[in-house]
Amino acid sequence: MTIAEIKKTSEQKMLKSIEALKSDLAKVRTGRAHTGLLDHVMVDYYGTMMPINQVANVNLLDARTISVQPWEKKMAQAVEKAIRESDLGLNPQSQGDQIRVPMPALTEERRRELVKVIKHEAESAKIAVRNLRRDANQQLKDLVKAKEASEDDERRAQDDIQKMTDRFIVEVDKLVSQKEAEIMAV
């Protein structure tokens, strides 16, 4: 493996960590409704657990209400039960073949809890990025030991990897502060 390959794979893995953080932050609910909120809710579809968006249409009715319309009428109860039993604290209401999911207003206390959850997610992402930096530096040391790269090249590459790490950590902080502002906005 060359120094360029080590840098490239490290950057790709760090990007994946950022993408994972973005998807985790999307699941944390703010006062507004959005369809991505139900993405990880699993429905028992004839004995198989499936994501809700594979058994129903999920749309927004308004800023605080999600509409879920199962493709099969007999699935309505299973979908409603799955939403109710999810860890999102939502209370769906059936209206014929359509299920309305109103978003309860967030209390100040709940907002603070959500901010703590977000900061925990951010810390996990930062740890992942730092672990990738450590792995890349170890690979560089192995190249020097195997006499495939000079110590100067290793030092330069370590500096580049450190700059890359710093860039991704700043990105994590930026994502978290945006989400925090979104949650704390009343």
- pLDDT of 92-151, one tens digit each? 888 888 888 887 777 788 788 888 888 888 999 999 999 999 999 999 999 889 888 888
Mean pLDDT of the chain: 86
Query: Quick one: 121 and 176 in the same domain?
Result: yes
For position 137, what pLDDT does the model report?
Answer: 93
Domain that holds residue 12: 3-27+107-184
| Whole-angstrom distance, CA of residue 46 vs CA of residue 57 | 18
Query: Quick one: 150 and 97 in the same domain?
Result: no
Query: Quick one: 164 and 140 in the same domain?
Result: yes
Query: Quick one: 111 and 180 in the same domain?
Result: yes
The percentage of residues in the chain with a pLDDT greater than 70, rounded to a whole number, is 96
For position 1, what pLDDT does the model report?
Answer: 77
For position 155, what pLDDT does the model report?
Answer: 92
Show the tokens assigned to 63.
């800023």
CATH code of residue 12: 1.10.132.20
Nearest-10 Cα torsion for 155, 156, 157, 160: 120
Query: Quick one: 55 and 119 in the same domain?
Result: no
C-alpha distances (whole Å) from 178 to each of 37, 81, 110, 135, 182 are 18, 33, 18, 30, 6
Q: In what order do the strands lie in the sheet with 98-102?
A: 56-62, 65-70, 98-102, 93-95
Query: Quick one: 53 and 84 in the same domain?
Result: yes
The percentage of residues in the chain with a pLDDT greater than 90, rounded to a whole number, is 31
Query: Quick one: 179 and 145 in the same domain?
Result: yes
Domain count for the chain: 2
Alpha-carbon Rg for the chain in angstroms:
22
Q: What's the first-to-final CA gap in the chain, in angstroms? A: 51
Q: Please tell me the least confidently modeled range out of 1-10, 27-36, 84-93.
A: 27-36
Q: Which residue has the tokens 């209370």?
A: 91
Query: Quick one: 177 and 127 in the same domain?
Result: yes
In angstroms, how far is CA 72 from the centroid of its own chain?
A: 30
Query: Quick one: 98 and 126 in the same domain?
Result: no
Query: Quick one: 145 and 177 in the same domain?
Result: yes
